[in-house]
Every structure is written in structure tokens, then in C-alpha cells.
Amino acid sequence: MNSKMKLPILYSQRSHQTRDLAISFLMQQGVENPNCISLAAGLVDPMTLPVGDALQAASRVLETEESGRLALQYGTTQGSAELREELLKHFASLEGSDVASLGIDETQLIATTGSQQLLSLVCETLFDPGDICLVAGPTYFVFAGNLAGVDARTVTIAADDDGMQPAALDHALEQIAAMQELHRVKLIYVVSYYDNPSGVCVSTERRKEIVDIAKKWSRDHRILVLEDAAYRELQYDGPVHSSLWSFDDSRDQVIYTQTFSKTFSPGIRVGFGVLPSDLVGPICDRKGNEDFGSANFNQHLIAETLRSGVYKTHLQKVRAGYQEKRDAMLAAADRYFSDIDGVTWVTPHGGLYVWMSLPESIATGFESPLFKQAVKNGVMYVPGELCYAGPAEDRPSHQMRLSYGVQTPDGINKGMERLAEAVKSVVR
């Protein structure tokens, strides 16, 4: 053996399947172009981060030796009982219900490292290579990466301003059944509130329909629905919706997940899942193998902010701030884009994103003239093609995800102006 030569490491198959996160590329672009206004980053607004509230919660949790030790010791894999009790109350209040009427108890709740970990755990627990997941087009690109990581097949279901189209979902399942592949369908993934990236909210009617379709095609096994409600509490206007989960009377068809990353602090990183009772064991076994449970201290911090009402007060401020920024982005879209032919965008009632479509001939990818011109002009966005599952060649490539999360209203306006100039330079 030549000692100068570095022998290769042989990686697992699934390691090769892991999709390189586009986030890295965008972050690098940001570093190399420090004056760039990023409308790409999904980070939360640093000004909303609850420094005082977090200190108050930490002080309460660590106030006595007894309460402090509880929080600093190992927790359980499923998560702090105290937190899960608070989560149950919180979830009930979001559903306009009370705990007793929910039809579940805290044994069906699990605390995770953000809702992202729940998404990953569900994929690991359900999918063998070649199993099928139905997703909206576009969909959350990190989840598409999770599906790629377990070598799942994805079937993209058309979506519009009311979210995933039930008729298209039903039709897709019919086709899959005709091909004798229904047994491979494990999951329907729905970002139900203010979708990342499209900003749309699934209409009430469709919520019920999607759950019913999952039930209808559950013949020999259960086709589960994974409801990703990460942005639920970032609502600014528009109608209030009950979850898809609430339309499942059996309480065993829908997995629900939510996070405190967007509404409180991503650095504290607490999310949770509401699970069908028979899924709790397998998910916890998997999580036990991965990390024994998420940081217990953080779970106590979030429980404290829920209990004290600090969370609720903070949320009001966060919502007001983002609403102002959403309005700034929509006004800027009107100001700078309405005179460009073929450009349309979705008006979101919550969340952090405006989804913009250009004429189909205008590519938006990292290698496109538009992206390069945009960076040159000092602005960045997430190319829409990253937000689809399935083979790259089948994806629409003329869209952009624009985030108003991080920039100030002024920064948003300037970024949109620069972006419109870039678009005009390639449309002409």
C-alpha cells in the first residue's frame, strides 16, 4: 500500500441517494456575494427571535434544583410528559376543540428535533426502495430529499390555489391500482397551511376529500396522510382552517406535524408529531436508535412558554411583523412585475413565501441566465425546479420561491426591484 495514497471510503447505497441540499449552494452564494439581498433563505426573521422570553423561560425551568434537574437529565425518547400535556392543550385550541373531545391523548404525541425530524422518521419507518409517496407539485424540497434518501418513488399530483387537487389524487391512485401497485403506496404528503413553496392553503372542502380518498384506496393496508402544518400558526388573514387530521374520525389515517421553529425559535428546535396509535412504537424505536430523544431541556423551555402564555403573546408580534413583510413583498410584486407579460404570483394568507411563475420559456435554475443576472444584480431566490419531486427533466423550470422572512420591508422592496430588472433583461 502506498502510504501517500488515500484509500476510498465505501459508502452505503443510501448515502449515495441522499440529495445534496441546495441550501449549501445558496449559502455559499450568499457568502461570496455579501451585498446580495437573499429572498432565498427560509430562515426566520432574526428580529422576531425571543431573547428575553427564552431567558425568562430558562430562568423558570432552572429556578429550583428540583425543576432544573428534571430538565437537565435524560428525557424519554417520546419526549417530556409535561411538554406533551401542554402540546395536547395547544393542539386542541388550534382545532377549536378541548382536550377531552380530541379523541387522542398524549401517548400519541412525540417531541422531535423540529418537525423535520418527524418527516425523516416517517420516511425511514414506512418506505422501502420503490414504495410510493404522492406529493403535490410543487412541494417542500427537503421532504423530496427525504424521499430520495429512502429511494421512494414519487407521484406528483397537480395543485392549484386551493392546494392538491382531489380529483387528480383519486385518478393517480386509480392508475396505480390498475398497475397492481397499490400495495406500494405508503403515504400522501400534504403541506396543508401556507405551503412551502407555493404559499397556498388547502381549502376546507379538499381537506375532507383528501382524507376520504386515502381511506377509499386503503384496501388491504392503510395509506397514511402526512400533514405538514409547519406554517399553521403564521396566519395573517384569510379563513381559519381545521387540520386534515380533524377530518379523520378514525384518528388512525393522518400523521400530523408542527414545529415551534418558525413561531418561536429554530435554535431551540422543538417540533412534534401526532401519530396513529400503532405508529407510535415503530417511530419511537427508530428515534431511540437515532438519538434516544431530543434535548429534554429544550422541551421544558417550550412547555414553560406554552404554560405561561409567553408563547401566545410572542406569536402575536411575530405574525404582525411577517404580515407587514408579506404586504411589502406583494406591493413590490405589483409595483415591479405587473408590467411584465406572463408573470403571475400567489397571494399567501400566511407563511413565509410568495410563489412566482414566469413565462414557461424563462428558466430559473442555478445555471440559468436569469439566476446569474439576479446574483449580479444583488438578489437571490430559490429556483422553482428544486421544489418538485421526481426526475429533474420532468419538472417545471420557470418558477421562483421568494421568501419575505429575513429581509426588512425596505430590503424586500429593493430585492424585488432588482429581481424584476433581471427578469426583464432575460424576457426581452
Least separation in angstroms between residue 23's CB and a second copy is 8
Tell me: does residue 291 bind a second copy (CB under 8 A).
Answer: yes
Query: Residues for the chain: how many in total?
Result: 428
Q: Which residues between 64 and 103 bind a second copy (CB under 8 A)?
A: 64-65, 68-69, 71-77
CA 322 – CA 235 distance, rounded (Å):
9
CA proximity to 294, closest of 260, 318, 326: 260
CA 157 – CA 318 distance, rounded (Å):
32
Q: Which residues between 221 and 240 bind a second copy (CB under 8 A)?
A: 221-222, 224
Give CA separation, 136 vs 133, 170, 219, in Å: 10, 13, 23
Least separation in angstroms between residue 426's CB and a second copy is 31
Question: Would you say 200 or 226 has its CB closer to a second copy?
Answer: 226
Tell me: does residue 305 bind a second copy (CB under 8 A).
Answer: no
Tell me: does residue 296 bind a second copy (CB under 8 A).
Answer: yes
Least separation in angstroms between residue 259's CB and a second copy is 11
Tell me: does residue 180 bind a second copy (CB under 8 A).
Answer: no
- Please, is 140 exposed, middle or buried when counting C-beta atoms within 10 Å of its C-beta (0-12, 13-18, 19+)? buried
The β-bridge relationship of strands 224-228 and 254-259 is parallel
Tell me: does residue 32 bind a second copy (CB under 8 A).
Answer: no
Task: Rule CB under 8 A: choose which of 30, 282, 359, 378 binds a second copy.
Answer: 282
CA 116 – CA 266 distance, rounded (Å):
11
Site pattern 355..384 for a second copy (x: CB under 8 A)? ------------------------------
Q: Which stretch binds a second copy (CB under 8 A): 41-49, 331-339, 359-367, 383-391?
A: 41-49
Question: Would you say 103 or 267 has its CB closer to a second copy?
Answer: 267
String of DSSP letters for 158-206: EEETTEE-HHHHHHHHHHHHHTT-GGGEEEEEEE-SS-TTT-----HHH
CA proximity to 97, closest of 106, 108, 88: 88
Task: Rule CB under 8 A: choose which of 30, 266, 321, 396 binds a second copy.
Answer: 266
Tell me: does residue 294 bind a second copy (CB under 8 A).
Answer: yes
